[in-house]
Amino acid sequence: MNALQVSGVGFAYGARQALNDLAFELAPGRFGALLGPNGAGKSTLIALLTRLYDLQQGDIRIFGHSLRDEPRQALRQLGVVFQQSTLDLDLSVQQNLAYHAALHGMPRRQAQARIDEELLRQDLAERRHDKVRTLNGGHRRRVEIARALLHQPRLLLLDEASAGLDPASRLALGRHVRNLCREQGLCVLWTTHLLDEIESSDDLLILHRAERVAWGKASQFGDDLAISFARLTGDEALGRGHVREALRPRRDDDSDNTETASVRTAHPTQGVRP
């Protein structure tokens, strides 16, 4: 049984098509990367997966449960870490997690056992009584992952989870999540616009203008993922060979919320090998 199966999904905002006949699947224990430029349809897919939007066409199944026909059973299998943090900065790590467990209706004793387990897994046990405000960005993301895993979902959705993190924290977060896949059998869908967050062993889905333009192991895309991405999306600037400039690293004064028409990366080939 697939962890995630997307079949013939289409979605439109009036006359504008945001997703067109999208189909792909992820197996349990796999790390799937969703890559695409601004306007490709990534945000729409995330909204559909989390039921912020209702399906217009096609179906999404999470461990066999249809989001259309069995939404409660499907969403029970799903944990989510959104791009914008939703932690209460003035509560402690423990209090944030306890509040989330209560929202899920978990008995207090069971909730505390799960909190203890996840804090150990995320290497945060010694920070449980610290206010979230005192944590760095990488540790805050780990708290959010712990929170998302409290109800023991089997599919974890991370939407631009590395946004705002420094390069070392981004690298550590990626390694940590992949370890969860290997050691816990967790399936992960990781959305990004940064090529250096993709490793050769990942399943890679590339969206462009509402369409799936590629799907497969990242290692299948050749020596330079930036070049492959440019070819698949038809980016003229990249096609003329200006890969390094168009995909230049962000400076400190660049806006955190700005996406270019291409995909940004500090090292276009890092972690992607044939």
Report angle CA 35, 38, 40 to the nearest 5 degrees: 65
User: Is there a contact between 138 and 147 (Cβ–Cβ < 8 Å)?
Assistant: no
Q: For the chain, first and last CA: distance in Å?
A: 29
pLDDT of residue 85: 86
pLDDT of residue 119: 94
Residue 102 is encoded by which pair of tokens?
A: 């209560």
pLDDT of residue 257: 39
DSSP for 10-28, please give it: EEEETTEEEEEEEEEEE-T
pLDDT of residue 96: 97
Residue 69 is encoded by which pair of tokens?
A: 């026909």
For 122-242, where are the alpha helices, taking DSSP H only?
A: 137-149, 167-184, 225-233, 236-239
pTM: 0.79
Taking the chain (274 residues) in runs of 10, the rounded mean pLDDT of each run is 96 95 96 89 93 95 95 93 90 96 93 94 93 93 92 92 82 89 93 88 93 91 80 58 37 38 35 35
Instruction: Report the C-alpha gap between 189 and 186 in whole angstroms.
Output: 10
pLDDT of residue 256: 39
Where do the domains of the chain lie, and which CATH numbers do they carry? 1-77+155-241 (3.40.50.300), 87-152 (no CATH)
CA dihedral (191, 196, 197, 199) positive or negative: positive
